[in-house]
Amino acid sequence: MKFGTYTFQPKKAQGFDFHVLRVKPETGIRLQPAQDMYSNVAVFADNVAACNHPNWISQSPLGPAKMGNNNYNIYWDVVCATQPEHRAEQLNYIADVDRHSQGTWLNSQYFADHGHCTCARCNELWKKSGLSWLEWRRKEVTEYIAQIREKVKKELVLCIQPDPISSYERYGVDFDDLAKYADAFNVVMFSKNYATPWYWEMLARGFKKLLKKPFYISFYVFGPGDNPKDAPSASELLTVSVRCARAGADGFLYLTDNASQILDFQKAAVEKVELRERLRSYGGQSVQEFLDFVANWEKII
Ligand SMILES: [Zn+2]
Fill in the DSSP letter of residue 45.
B
Q: How far apart are CA 138 and CA 142, in angstroms?
A: 6
Tell me the CA–centroid distance for residue 20 and ligand 1, in Å: 30
Tell me the CA–centroid distance for residue 11 and ligand 1, in Å: 37
Tell me the CA–centroid distance for residue 80 and ligand 1, in Å: 4
CB 136 within 8 A of CB 126: yes
Q: What is the mean pLDDT of residues 106-134?
A: 98
CB 156 within 8 A of CB 109: no
Strands (E), 63-147: 103-107
Q: What percent of the chain has pLDDT over 90?
A: 99
Strands (E), 2-132: 2-7, 18-24, 38-42, 103-107
**pLDDT band at residue 301, thresholds of 50, 70 and 90?**
confident
Q: pLDDT tens for residues 46-69?
A: 999 999 999 999 999 999 999 999
Q: pLDDT tens for residues 217-240?
A: 999 999 999 999 999 999 999 999
Q: What is the mean pLDDT of residues 204-214?
A: 98
Tell me the CA–centroid distance for residue 114 and ligand 1, in Å: 13
Say yes or no to pLDDT of 99 above 90. Answer: yes
CA angle 138, 170, 179 (to 5 degrees): 50
Say yes or no to pLDDT of 180 above 90. Answer: yes
Q: What share of the chain is helix, strand, coil (3-state, %, to 5)?
A: 45, 20, 40
Tell me the CA–centroid distance for residue 58 and ligand 1, in Å: 5
Chain mean position to CA 179: 15
Tell me the CA–centroid distance for residue 201 and ligand 1, in Å: 35
Count of positions (residues) in the chain: 301
Say yes or no to pLDDT of 164 above 90. Answer: yes
Amino acid at 20: V
Q: How far apart are CA 291 and CA 276, in angstroms?
A: 7
Chain mean position to CA 3: 15
Tell me the CA–centroid distance for residue 47 and ligand 1, in Å: 16
Amino acid at 262: I
The number of beta carbons lying within 10 Å of the beta carbon of residue 298 is 12
Q: What is the mean pLDDT of residues 207-218?
A: 98
| Residue 87 dihedral angles phi and psi, to the nearest 5° | -55, -50
Tell me the CA–centroid distance for residue 146 and ligand 1, in Å: 19
H or E element, residue 222: strand 215-222
Say yes or no to pLDDT of 245 above 90. Answer: yes
Chain mean position to CA 297: 25
Q: pLDDT tens for residues 247-257?
A: 999 999 999 99
**pLDDT band at residue 215, thresholds of 50, 70 and 90?**
very high
Tell me the CA–centroid distance for residue 49 and ligand 1, in Å: 14
CA-based Rg of the chain, rounded to a whole angstrom? Answer: 19
From the list 97, 124, 95, 116, the residue with the least C-alpha distance to 45 is 116
Q: How far apart are CA 174 and CA 166, in angstroms?
A: 10
pLDDT at 231: 96
From the list 198, 188, 205, the residue with the least C-alpha distance to 249 is 205
Tell me the CA–centroid distance for residue 39 and ligand 1, in Å: 27
Say yes or no to pLDDT of 203 above 90. Answer: yes
Burial of 58 (0-12, 13-18, 19+ CB in 10 A): buried
Tell me the CA–centroid distance for residue 138 and ligand 1, in Å: 14
Tell me the CA–centroid distance for residue 197 and ligand 1, in Å: 37
Tell me the CA–centroid distance for residue 122 and ligand 1, in Å: 4
Average pLDDT, the chain: 97
Q: What percent of the chain has pLDDT over 70?
A: 100
Beta bridge partners of 57: 79
| Residue 23 dihedral angles phi and psi, to the nearest 5° | -70, -30
Amino acid at 157: V
